[in-house]
A and B are shown apart, each in its own frame.
Chain A
Amino acid sequence: MKRVCKLDIKQVLLFFGVIIILFISACMYMTGITVPLQGTANDSATFTMHCYAQPALTDGDQQATLVAGFLAPKGWNAAQNTIVTYISDKGNGIMTLMPKGSKDPETKLEWPDAAKQKMGIGGNLIDDVEWVIFLGDRAVTASNQVRINYDVSFKVKLGPNNMFVKLGFFNATLRYGFAAPFNGQNPYYAFKFSDCFQVIGGDPNVDLEDMCNPQMSTVTPVKSLDNDIITLTFDNGLESTALDNESDIYVCVTGYKTNGDTLSYYKIGPENKLNPLGGKKYRIDFWPRGLLKVGKNETLKRLVYKYYDVTGTKAVINTHTLTPFQYTFKCTN
């Protein structure tokens, strides 16, 4: 009986030994990304990531299928508006959208969720971006220590709105996904985020969306309608303003209805007083239809607002545009 047990343990050890020997280290690297400084709204722009793979295979060649990801503003609808191509030592080709429901083998999450979990959204200060994942059109043969160079290009039609955003890129293989580095140093995936990319020439009547720079005032959710509950945050410490020494801050709001008429809330009282969050930051949550008493068959198109002190005499507006802050109600773009 004892002998059988000993034999079993040996067999188990031998089995795991074989598994370890057969293990592959894919070693995916990204040497750089090419991202222009700016692009024009509704035009195309091309972004390229420069990569190579250095497979470490100890049991012969292996087939590998490339996975590439692109972090883009949701308003670009990059899943529908992006053409992805690659050129490589193993030939050129195209990449198509990762089938819905396909999961990263490491996290067991769908690829976009896995990408967000593993890499986040870079330096973007507003979570209005999404990872869009693409799959290579064929598997290529990877051989031990034979470097494969490849560039992946994303040609995307930019959205209609002006914005600042940091774009993200990653490459991995379908087989290993976001696996932890082999031996702690050989990565199975590689990623980079760009500096701030600017979209210009967009609709001047729509708010500029700046995800790169801290904002004095923000609205959450980024996309909402007048029947949502929105949160305004005010950072009174970002730069010097007329409210520098004030601790009681109020917001006064004008809503523009779809027919052009306006509704205003300009009283100073508990309903429009901001709550302190510490660090000279404040927030207020409200239901726009309720605050502005919008009629049943009326709809608000946008809000403009200023922050006031308790006397209603000192106000803060957008110091960049020198106009009141504004927010447009919308669910897309």
Chain B
Amino acid sequence: MKNNIVKKILYACLGLYIILLSSCQKDLAKLVESPKDISGSWQIVQLIRNKEDITPNLDLSKFRIVFNADKTFTLQDQFSFVVSDPGTYSLDDPNYPSLLKLQTPNDTIGLNFEYPIINGKRQIRFSISQGCQGNNYEYSFLKAQ
């Protein structure tokens, strides 16, 4: 009698486990990142040079990079960056982008691209060397209000 009860409990657990597992698989199948839309005006919120945060030492309030919905981009004001002219942009993968390509009349630049959510807001991050290759800059952009 006692063994029967134990068996029933075991079968119930096994059944529940199978149901949970199958429901998880369905959820996993649904988990596809939505396409990333980076259109908007972005301003620098952090700039790190060779691992030193130089944000407080610079006036970063004026420079903007504006990604338009038609896949063109423009720059507002001038600042140390990898391009200085407007052009077009594209992401290597709309759902899981890791590379942002900026194309201007004179240059085609591929930037390692990150799109994290920081404090509930999307940021765009690039790691670039716009001067000497030995100098590394990590730019973090936030959508301008």
Instruction: Compute how far the CA of A275 lies from the CA of B59 in the bound complex, rounded to whole angstroms.
Output: 13
| Nearest CB of chain B from residue A24's CB, rounded to whole Å | 38
Complex contact A228–B57 (CB within 8 A): no
Q: Can you list, as one digit per residue, whether each of B118-140 has a CB less than 8 Å from chain A (1) or not (0)?
A: 00000000000011111101000
Instruction: Compute how far the CA of A226 lies from the CA of B131 in the bound complex, rounded to whole angstroms.
Output: 7
Interchain CB contact (< 8 A) of A228 among B59, B78, B84, B135: B135
Instruction: Compute how far the CA of A285 lies from the CA of B54 in the bound complex, rounded to whole angstroms.
Output: 8
Query: Interface on chain B toward A: helix, strand, loop, or mixed SS?
Result: loop
Complex contact A331–B132 (CB within 8 A): yes
Complex contact B54–A223 (CB within 8 A): no
Contacts of A283 in B (CB 8 A): 57
Q: Can you list, as one digit per residue, whether each of A267-306 has a CB less than 8 Å from chain B (1) or not (0)?
A: 0000100010000000111110110000010000000000
| Nearest CB of chain A from residue B38's CB, rounded to whole Å | 24
Contacts of B132 in A (CB 8 A): 221, 223-225, 228, 331
Instruction: Compute how far the CA of A226 lies from the CA of B79 in the bound complex, rounded to whole angstroms.
Output: 12
Instruction: Compute how far the CA of A225 lies from the CA of B59 in the bound complex, rounded to whole angstroms.
Output: 20
A interface residues, tally (CB under 8 Å):
20
| A44 lies within 8 A of chain B by Cβ | no
Interchain CB contact (< 8 A) of B134 among A223, A226, A284, A285: A223
Contacts of B131 in A (CB 8 A): 224-229, 331
Q: Can you list, as one digit per residue, whether each of B59-73 has a CB less than 8 Å from chain A (1) or not (0)?
A: 100000000000000
Instruction: Compute how far the CA of A221 lies from the CA of B136 in the bound complex, rounded to whole angstroms.
Output: 10
| B98 lies within 8 A of chain A by Cβ | no
Known interface pairs A221-B49, A229-B58; A296-B84 also in contact (CB < 8 Å): yes
| Nearest CB of chain B from residue A181's CB, rounded to whole Å | 31
Contacts of B57 in A (CB 8 A): 231, 275, 283-285
Contacts of B80 in A (CB 8 A): 227-229, 287, 289-290
Complex contact B78–A290 (CB within 8 A): yes
Instruction: Compute how far the CA of A90 lies from the CA of B50 in the bound complex, rounded to whole angstroms.
Output: 45
Contacts of B47 in A (CB 8 A): 229
Contacts of A286 in B (CB 8 A): 58
Complex contact B54–A229 (CB within 8 A): yes
Contacts of B135 in A (CB 8 A): 221, 223-224, 228
Highest count of chain A CB atoms <10 Å: which of B47, B58, B80, B130: B80
Contacts of B79 in A (CB 8 A): 287, 290
| Nearest CB of chain A from residue B85's CB, rounded to whole Å | 8
Complex interface residues of chain B between 33 and 56 (CB less than 8 A to chain A): 47, 49-50, 54
For the complex of A and B, 6 pairs with smallest distance between CB atoms: A228-B131, A331-B132, A285-B57, A225-B131, A287-B80, A227-B131
Q: A226-B131, A227-B131, A289-B80 are in contact. List 5 more A-B contacts (CB 8 A).
A: A223-B132, A223-B135, A228-B132, A271-B59, A331-B133
B: residues with CB less than 8 A from A are 47, 49-50, 54, 57-59, 78-80, 84, 130-135, 137
- Jot down 11 A-B pairs with beta carbons below 8 A, ordered by A: A221-B132, A221-B135, A224-B132, A225-B132, A227-B131, A228-B132, A283-B57, A289-B80, A290-B78, A290-B80, A331-B133
